[in-house]
Structure 1
Amino acid sequence: MPFVQVSLREGRTPQQLRALISALTDAVVDSIGAAKDSVRVVITEVPPTHWAAGDVTLAERAQS
């Protein structure tokens, strides 16, 4: 059972997230021949205050 986990900054529309799920599922099916109903996709949305690089959060970076 293929499992795909994606972390994204919050802010995508439900339609964008749905499109991502479909594209990831299709990519797994096409690349390794997995049965579509066996593919699992989990998307975790992270607030910009909880995601940092180089000790600067995405929220702080957006204010600069």
Structure 2
Amino acid sequence: MPYVNIRVTKEGVTAEQKLALIEGVTDLLSRVLNKNPATTFVIIDEVEMDNWGLNGESTTSRRKREAAGAA
């Protein structure tokens, strides 16, 4: 009974994109590990950008800095 947890920043991931992730991960586990899709759980967590950080900086700050640099 595989359990897969996908975490993404909350930036407008669509229902269609989430479904594609769920289907793709389920298919991958079925093909590679011969796992039963009926018992494969895929959970998608959307994390607020202020709660996701990299290299000592929140994603919100990174996006603002990168946008300012691109302008």
TM bin, normalised by shorter chain, reads: over 0.9
CA deviations over 1:10-35 (Å, ceiling 9, x no partner): 12111100111000000000011011
Over the matched positions of the two proteins, sequence identity in percent amounts to 27
- With structure 1 as the length reference, what TM-score do the two structures score? 0.94
Q: Distance in 2 between matches of 1:6 and 1:49?
A: 18
- With structure 2 as the length reference, what TM-score do the two structures score? 0.85
- Structure 2 residues without counterparts, runs of 5 or longer: 66-71
The CA deviation at 1:46 is 0.5
Q: Post-superposition, which runs of at least 4 consecutive aligned residues in structure 1 deviate over 3 A?
A: none
RMSD over aligned Cα, in angstroms? 0.7
- Structure 1 residues without counterparts, runs of 5 or longer: none
Q: Distance in 1 between matches of 2:24 and 2:45?
A: 16
Structure showing greater Rg: 2
1:39 equivalenced with 2:40 (yes/no): yes
